[in-house]
Structure 1
Amino acid sequence: MAANGASVFAPWDDPDQTPLIRFENVTKRFGDFTAIDNLSLDIYAREFFALLGPSGCGKTTMMRMLAGFETPTEGKIYIGGQDMGPIAPNQRPVNMMFQSYALFPHLSVYENIAFGLRRDGQPKDKIEARVEDMLRMVRLQKFAKRKPHQISGGQRQRVALARSLAKEPKLLLLDEPLGALDAKLREDTQFELMDIQEKTGTTFVIVTHDQEEAMTVASRIAVMDEGRIMQVATPDRIYEFPENAYVADFIGDVNLIEGTATPSGEDEVTITWAENQQPIRAKTQRKLATGQKVFYAIRPEKVGISKEEPTDVVNKAKGRILDIAYLGNLSTYHVQMPTGEIIKAQSANTRRIARRPFTWEEEVWVSWNGTGGSVLED
């Protein structure tokens, strides 16, 4: 959010910043089922924050508690320093945008956006000015008189967004807002969302199971599993420095190699992982015991592949190509070791492929440096 030497937007790193939203030891149970398990989390003003995880992990329950549709079994939720416990949903400084958009089919685009302002009894001239601002922001001035069924899915999504922002909430909750759009439109709309969020300065909290979407739009991501937060960090930290095997495996593509550790120097470890393969040498700040079970996570794009044995790398292994995934801009090679383990290596297709550099069943070497991966305890 900053350029030309301006300070980076990172209020979570500033001890003097007060969070806009605070979950304080929140637990939510439905009968015997614990949907949220003693969860604490801070979200700051102007953040685009993503709750990311598989179905049933608790992310939608967290959003519904923020909106006031569910009540915590234990713990408290604060918005702007105020305990939301006694505050009714319609009294909270929050608006919510649903995956279905929930537009009124009988009202025009203009009237859909104006609906909440009219219900609040705002003066006609203020309503008109605000709706015009919203139409301009989402670039739908030409469609103001049309009904929802007369515009595209992407345009309906922008109408729902404009209606949600018209009342200038402190916080906008987005529940899988792009799930109904096709892949290309979803990608375009992600950047529109980011642009609108930055222009309005509204805090956005998005619920999604789409890792790529969260990585694209969010200032920070909370990766969730079974009602607990596994890691909260910026997208680059989540990807490059996962805190555990679950996060490494959930975000993006990864080689997750199980082995046993032997500390071999300051911030160094060797990992025994397969019969007749040289141990993996890695950097880590974790304090590990000799013989301790660990996972080594290395992204496929950080693994090189070659026909000749490399001489200038710390880690290497020989295998044969089991499978090739051609993705246009990238090719991913699944290389099987003699003992059955598979290591994925990825290379960019910077030139048009007239003939593949490697083919199925071919013997190759995979290699990577000592700082390319992460040593994880579980």
Structure 2
Amino acid sequence: MASGASATTFAPWDDPNEAPLIRIENVTKRFGDFTAVDDISLDIYRREFFALLGPSGCGKTTLMRMLAGFEIPTEGRITIDGQDMAGVPPNKRAVNMMFQSYALFPHLSVWDNIAFGLRRDGLPKDKVEARVEEMLKLVQLQKFSKRKPHQISGGQRQRVALARSLAKAPKLLLLDEPLGALDRKLREETQFELMDIQEKTGTTFVIVTHDQEEAMTVASRVAVMDQGRLIQVATPPVIYESPNSVYVADFLGDASFFDGTVRRSDGCYELTWAEGQPPIRAKSAHGFTDGQTAHYAIRPEKVEIHADKPADDNVMQGRVVDIGYLGNLSTYHVELGNGQIIKAQSFNTERDTRRRFTWDDPVWVNWTDACGVLLEK
């Protein structure tokens, strides 16, 4: 169940009595001297829409291929629904995989593409027909059942591949960059279609993607990976608002960073980060000792920009050195007195082509002590 669904009531990972569908225990995969997956342990639950997120070469696809049975772990164990997958070939697992290329048969109709796996399993003709019609209805392609793949759009081909993958009712569906071939607008539309289909079928989905927005939109939980390791596993709001490291804060979304030392002050921490600059006040549930080195991350949408000095916890003066106009909002790059750049965003709520601020304007930026996050690493 994706984050857009009833995420407040769906949290099996918080229930100690809930058994995971997939259990990955201390799994490592080496190719010669190269370690692609490094000692990963992870539980994924029934009905989850789980995202493996990270840059190219981080190990996410290798991990997915081990779930599918196309790669064998060098060390560790993978169980699916309580069954150890050691020695179980791909065609004997209750798992299906949908590839980025879709891999549809060009000479077969949409109907026959969906029916292919069911027929190969020897299912009776009436059951094949009933299941294919059910899948066509699920992906809303009844009108296109007689067409060949080249006679339908990219988004429709993606739905055919999804219907074919779901036709055999797998316990687990693996999606390898499934929307990568679609243009931006169609990709965004298809994300919501995927969420709706996943919720209707109740199938556990695991998606591999390098697209942060895609992972944040569709997933119930996100696993951020880097260099074969899990860096953080959490729900999209927790990953975004409470990253556990500079790497996660920087990889997921946009942020400005300040490095310095911290000390306790009036129930908050003060980060001393540059000579001649006011300290940054920050609340943190994580404990720091006085004098400890820390990193501070602040998202641009949390930073306000003003012509006059505001009254707030964190107030700094600078000048606008760059502007990014994105239609619905503008991002201002503000250079502070010591040369540090901080980003501030404002929504363009009125239909006016004149910006509030322009290049070289002197401005003030501010935010409250609860807006940013202090990080140890």
The verdict on a shared fold, with TM-score over 0.5 as the criterion, is yes
The code of the aligned residue for 1:359 comes to T
Number of residue pairs matched? 376
Aligned to 1:135, the other structure's residue is in SS state helix
1:260 Cα offset (Å)? 1.4
1:287 Cα offset (Å)? 2.3
Deviates more, 1:90-99 or 1:7-16: 7-16
> Residue in 2 aligned with 1:66?
67
Question: How has the CA–CA distance of structure 1 residues 27 and 186 changed in structure 2, closer, same or farther, with 3 Å as cutoff?
Answer: same
Q: Where does structure 2 lack aligned partners over 5 or more consecutive residues?
A: none
Distance (Å, rounded) in 2 between the aligned partners of 1:222 and 1:6: 17
Aligned to 1:174, the other structure's residue is in SS state strand
Distance (Å, rounded) in 1 between the aligned partners of 2:4 and 2:225: 32
> Residue in 2 aligned with 1:299?
299
| Pairs within 5 Å for 1:326-345 | 326-345=325-344
The code of the aligned residue for 1:282 comes to A
> Residue in 2 aligned with 1:205?
206
Aligned to 1:50, the other structure's residue is in SS state strand
> Residue in 2 aligned with 1:363?
362
Give the structure-1-normalised TM-score.
Answer: 0.97
| Pairs within 5 Å for 1:8-87 | 8-87=9-88
1:103 correspondence with 2:135: no
The code of the aligned residue for 2:306 comes to S
Distance (Å, rounded) in 2 between the aligned partners of 1:145 and 1:285: 58
Aligned to 1:104, the other structure's residue is in SS state coil
Q: Identity over aligned residues, as a percent?
A: 71
> Residue in 1 aligned with 2:320?
321
Question: How has the CA–CA distance of structure 1 residues 73 and 255 changed in structure 2, closer, same or farther, with 3 Å as cutoff?
Answer: same
| Pairs within 5 Å for 1:133-144 | 133-144=134-145
Distance (Å, rounded) in 2 between the aligned partners of 1:11 and 1:100: 32
Aligned to 2:76, the other structure's residue is in SS state strand
The code of the aligned residue for 1:292 comes to Q
Distance (Å, rounded) in 2 between the aligned partners of 1:70 and 1:141: 36
Question: How has the CA–CA distance of structure 1 residues 95 and 5 changed in structure 2, closer, same or farther, with 3 Å as cutoff?
Answer: closer
The code of the aligned residue for 2:170 comes to P
1:278 correspondence with 2:283: no
1:338 Cα offset (Å)? 1.9
| Pairs within 5 Å for 1:346-361 | 346-361=345-360
Q: Where does structure 1 lack aligned partners over 5 or more consecutive residues?
A: none
> Residue in 1 aligned with 2:161?
160
1:354 Cα offset (Å)? 4.0
Distance (Å, rounded) in 1 between the aligned partners of 2:28 and 2:59: 11
The code of the aligned residue for 1:228 comes to R
RMSD: 1.5
1:6 Cα offset (Å)? 10
1:269 correspondence with 2:286: no
Distance (Å, rounded) in 2 between the aligned partners of 1:77 and 1:165: 22
Distance (Å, rounded) in 2 between the aligned partners of 1:139 and 1:25: 41
1:265 Cα offset (Å)? 4.7
1:261 Cα offset (Å)? 1.2
> Residue in 2 aligned with 1:257?
258
Listed one character per residue, the Cα deviations across residues 93-118 of structure 1 (whole Å, up to 9, x for unaligned) are 00000000000011110000000000
> Residue in 2 aligned with 1:189?
190
